Chain A
Amino acid sequence: MRHRHILSETWSGLRRNLTMTLAVIVTMWVSLALFGAGLLAYQQVDLMKGKWYDKVEISVFLCGTVSAPSETCEGGADATEAQKEVILATLENNPEVEEVLFESKEEAFAEFSKAYEDSPILDTLTVDQMQESYRVKLVDPERYQSVVGQVAGLPGVQAIQDLREYLDPLFSWMNLIQIGTIVASALLLGAAALQIGNTIRLTAFARRREIGIMRLVGASNFYIMLPFLFEAVIGAAIGVLLACGTLASGVYFIIIQKAKVSLKAFEWIGWSHAGLAMAGVAVVGLALAIIPTLITTRKYLRV
């Protein structure tokens, strides 16, 4: 009997405020979907960062037959064995360096051939035109400057290339997108929370007679609050389900069906990441329903 009463109160509350309930559901849906997309973008960027930072190495190109004369290179001559030894020793003694690999002209040519398999450039190139290089792995990829500075002026070094120069702008764009999504969804989520508070105020007003009598005859605060809590949680749950559905179809149609197929070079997020984002959406969605309800009912249902 008592449970039936709570359920019927919840149901009549939802019906009475149908338009407000719909508004809450739609706002929750859109803001939570956006929030979930932010979480997915965050994981995607993390994934790419992890993958690429892992690969990032400093390439120390040595002087070769094709390099123009400069302060450190005698034009048209390979770096001497002595020069190479100095460079290698310098790199290996640097505590920031994790690993140093030597890439010979032959290996460089093989890599190049693989990358430009069908290109006509290959026909005009010979092994001799390739450059020897040291591939340096760093302990902490963020601190590449010290290593670059140390070997930059050594004789026999033609150029130093750091992949991060190219990746950093990309990552800063991605970070911006991450922050943008999260800020936009935070604003919408804030609006959704206010809307829930307002709906509850309306419901409390519509039920003021019942609430007055409940307080008078000694119904517990929790009992009085329960229909409001249910109402908010049901609205939020529907919003969460719709948002999760949106995220799932987004991941399926955009990532799994399109991106993973056509952009194989990149690492892409999958269902496990989507599951994590959905869990986040569910937690935030329910918290957004429960917290404003507790605050507003505390304010309007005070004994």
Chain B
Amino acid sequence: MITFEQVSKTYDGQQRAALRDIDLEIAKGEFAFLVGASGSGKSTFLRLILREYRPSRGRIFVAGRELNKLPSWRVPSLRREIGTVFQDFRLLPGKTVHENVAFAMQVIGRSAKDIKTQIPQTLELVGLEGKEKRLPEELSGGEQQRVAIARAVVNDPKLLIADEPTGNLDPATSVGIMKLLDRINRNGTTVVMATHDSTIVDQMRKRVMELNKGRLIRDQSKGVYGYQ
């Protein structure tokens, strides 16, 4: 699903590389944690997958596309294969739960019929049935993140990128979100999640990739967060 070959990224006007010589492969259907201190390169890693930036060196393959060779106008087709979830949810405040999820389908031109059948299923998957008409401000943090996850998976992406999805949530709520991500992963979606939450990583026992100052210093299947 994702392949990095000798990938380095240095931002314009900066001396130090944000990522250095990253070589890894994440298979279809895998669940992988990305851990490391702030500034270790986690965000850069995720942004390279989304083709928000091009690597300075090396080659990246995502969902069968070589990103170095992907022209700008083809980027939307890549993004349609990837669902994305953030720490800050990024919901549209004036829109209801239903409208927020529907927005992701409308703007890529899905039919009204698709929207009508797909949204109830997805809201049921994330456990928000009955809350279609609520506004984001009327929901708890955990519920808001569930809306964001619903929006990320409603178009059936092959890959789900989660950047600190539990960063704003209390531990009990976080467990619920992790169960949801696990279920989505079991349905066949590859999940890559950047996190600081050691409890979660230790509990899940999934693959752990650790970045330190832009280098991949650990890549362990069924790993733990690390040695504090």
Contacts and interface: CB of A to CB of B under 8 A. Distances in A.
Contact of A218 (B103, B108, B111): B108
B80 interface: yes
A212 B80 contact: no
Interface string A36-64: 00000000000000000000000000000
A2 B104 CA distance: 11
A5 interface: yes
A5 B107 contact: yes
A1 B73 CA distance: 24
A215 interface: yes
B72 A303 contact: yes
A213 B92 contact: yes
B204 interface: no
Contacts of B93: 209
A71 to B, nearest CB: 82
Given A1-B112, A2-B109, A213-B103, A218 B80 contact: yes
Contact of A213 (B52, B104, B109): B104
Contacts of B51: 303
Considering residues A212, A216, A217, which has the most beta carbons from chain B within 10 angstroms of its beta carbon?
Answer: A217
A214 interface: yes
B77 interface: yes
B interface, how many residues as a size bin?
A: 20 to 34
A220 interface: yes
Contact of A2 (B84, B90, B106): B106
A1 B108 contact: no
Interface string A178-221: 00000000000000000000000000000001101111111111
A253 interface: no
Contacts of A219: 76, 107-108
B98 interface: no
Contacts of B90: 209, 212-213
A217 B75 contact: no
A218 B151 contact: no
A217 B79 contact: yes
Interface in B71-92: 72-73, 75-82, 84, 90, 92
B174 interface: no
B107 A214 contact: yes
A217 B108 contact: yes
A212 B93 CA distance: 14
A11 interface: no
A28 B106 CA distance: 33
A220 B76 contact: yes
A102 interface: no
A217 B73 contact: no
B109 A223 contact: yes
B144 interface: no
B189 interface: no
Given A1-B115, A213-B104, A218 B92 contact: no
A213 B88 CA distance: 13
B166 interface: no
Contacts of A224: 107
A221 B77 CA distance: 11
B155 interface: yes
Contacts of A2: 106-107, 109
Nearest to B104: A217
Contacts of A210: 92, 103
Contacts of A212: 90
Nearest to A224: B107
A1 B151 contact: no
Given A1-B106, A2-B106, A216 B92 contact: no
Contacts of B81: 218
Nearest to B102: A1
Contacts of B107: 2, 5, 213-214, 217, 219, 223-224
Nearest to B116: A1
B197 to A, nearest CB: 23
B77 A218 contact: yes
A223 B90 CA distance: 20
27 contacts: A1-B111, A2-B106, A2-B107, A209-B90, A209-B92, A209-B93, A210-B103, A212-B90, A213-B92, A213-B103, A213-B107, A213-B151, A216-B50, A216-B79, A217-B104, A217-B107, A218-B75, A218-B76, A218-B77, A218-B78, A218-B155, A219-B108, A220-B76, A221-B76, A223-B109, A303-B52, A303-B72
